[in-house]
Chain A
Amino acid sequence: MTDATAPAPGARSRVGQGSLLRQDTRTIKRNAAENRFRIYGLTAICIGILMLVFLLTSILSNGLSSFRQTTIQVPVTLVADRLDPEGNRDPAEMARVTTFGYAPLLRDALVGTIADAGIETELDAGDIADIVSDESVAQLRNFVLANPDLLGQTMPVEVLASGRIDGFFKGRVTYATAELDQNISPEQLRLAEALKAEGLLATGFNFDFFTAPDASVTRPEAAGLGVAILGSLYMMLVVLALALPIGVAASIYLEEFAPQNRFTDLVEVNISNLAAVPSIVFGILGLAVFINFAGLPQSAPIVGGLVLTLMTLPTIIIATRAALKAVPPSIRDAALGVGASKMQTVFHHVLPLAMPGILTGTIIGLAQALGETAPLLLIGMVAFVREYPDAPWEGGLFDPATALPVQIYNFTQRSDPAFVERASGAIIVLLLFLFLMNLAAILLRRRFERRW
C-alpha cells in the first residue's frame, strides 16, 4: 500500500455523489434540521403572541369601559333652612349637617326631575334615589360647603349614576340579570332608559378615573386611581433619587477602582444573588428596618420607595457594570496616557460613554419597581386610602398612599362586579405607564448608543 494508491479522504466523499447542484443526504438532513429549528422558534413566538393577544383582549374588553362613565343631570334646590339651620352661612356650622341630611334633598330633586320630564314610574322615592351613586351626596355637600352663598338657589348638578345603571349602559347589566339582582330592578333600568331619552342621562369620558381617590365597596362608580398614581409617582421619585446615585457609585467603584480580591468577588456574587431574591423578602426587611427600627410611618411612599430601592439596586448595578465594561479599554488608556487622573478618566470619558446603558438599566429597573406589589403588602401600602398625599416638599412622602399595582389588587378583592371593570382599567393604565417607560429606554439606547 502506498500513499499514491490511497484516494484522498476528501476526494472519496465527492466521488459518486453526483453534481454540486444535487444535495447529498447529509446536507439534506442538515438543512431539514435547520428548518425544523426555525419552525420551533416561530412556534414559540406565535405562542407568545397568542398569549399576549389573549391577555390584552381580555383586559381591554373588560377594562376599556372604565374610561367612560354615566352621569345624570339633576337641578337641586339647596334648601337653606335644611342645610344651614343656624342661618349664618358659616361653613363650620353648616358642616354639622352630615351627608345623611343631604340625601333627602337629592332624592326629592330626582323625583321632581322625573315628574317634570313626564316620565311615569312605579318606583318609590327610595328606589329612584338608588339609581344615583352614594358618592353624589358627598359631592353635593362638598359643593355646598365650598359655596355657602348659593344656598336657596336651584343649581344644576351632575351626579354619578350608580354602578349597576352605569353597567347597564356598558352592556354589563341586562334586564335578565336585573331580574335576579337584589341591587337593581328592571323597572329602575327602564327609568334610566327614559332619562336617557330625555337627555338627562349621558355617558361620557371618565376623567375622574385618573384623578379621584379610591371609593368603598358600595361606590364602584366613584373609584379612581388618583391616590395610587400619586403614590407610585412618589415611590419612583424616591427610587430614582436613591438607586441611581448609589447604584452608579457602587458600579464605578467595583468596575474601575476596586482591587480584584476575594472580598470584591464576594460582593459580586452577592449582588447577583440579591437580584434574584423574591421581592417579598425586601418587604420583610423594610418592615423590620424602616418601620420598626427607624420609626418611619406605615403606608408611606417613602418606605415603599426605600424598599423598592433595595430591590432595584442590583438591577441597576448589574446594568451599569455591563455598560462600563462595554467602554473599550483604549479610551481609558488614552485618557490616562495624556495625564488624566483615574477619576478624571472615569467621569470625563468612561461615564459619559456608558450613560445610555446606565439610563436604560435604570428605566428598566424603575419599570420593574413600578409593577411590584408584594413588598408593599408588609409595609401597609395595600390599603384603602382616600386622602391625597401632600406635595413631596410638604412632607407628602410620609403621608399614606397606595400604588397602582396595589390598587389593582384591591379592586379585584371587592364583591361588587363593577370593580372587575375598574381593575382592568387600572391594569390598562399601568401597562401604558410600563410601555412608555420601556419605550423611553429603547429610544435612549437608539439615540445615544455608540458602537466600536
Chain B
Amino acid sequence: MEPVFALAFGVMVAVAAYLLMSRNVLRVVLGLLVLGNATNLSIFLAGRMGSRTPPLVAAGETALVGGANPLPQALILTAIVISFSLVAFTTVLFESAHRRLGTVDTDAMREAEPEAAKKVPNDRRQAAARKMEPAE
C-alpha cells in the first residue's frame, strides 16, 4: 500500500514546489502548507504502515507487541506543530510586507536587494587612501 502513497507524495511535492516558486506570496503560503503535509507523510511512510493499532502498551504488559511504529509518530507530532508555526509566521511576515509595500508580488519586493545595487563605489575610497598624509 505504501508505494501508492509514495506516488501521492511525489504529486504533493511537485505541487508544493510549483507554488513555492510562485511570485504571489499567498500561493507561497499554500505551497508551504502542502509541503508540510508532504514531509510528515514521508516520515510516516518511511516508518512503514501496516498496523491499525495505536502504539499503546496494554495494562499489565511490559512491552508492546504489534501496533504501529511509535518513532515516526513522535517525530511527526512535533513536526506538525512546527510546520504550523512556520506557516503562521510566514503569513504574518507576508501580510506585514503587503501592508508596507502594497504588493504581493515577490519580484516587486526589492527593499533588501534593490535593482540598482550593482557597483561598489570604491573609487572614492581609493582616492582618499592615495592622499596619505602622515599626521596625527
Q: Do A and B bind each other?
A: no
Which A residues fall within an 8 A CB radius of B?
none
Which B residues fall within an 8 A CB radius of A?
none
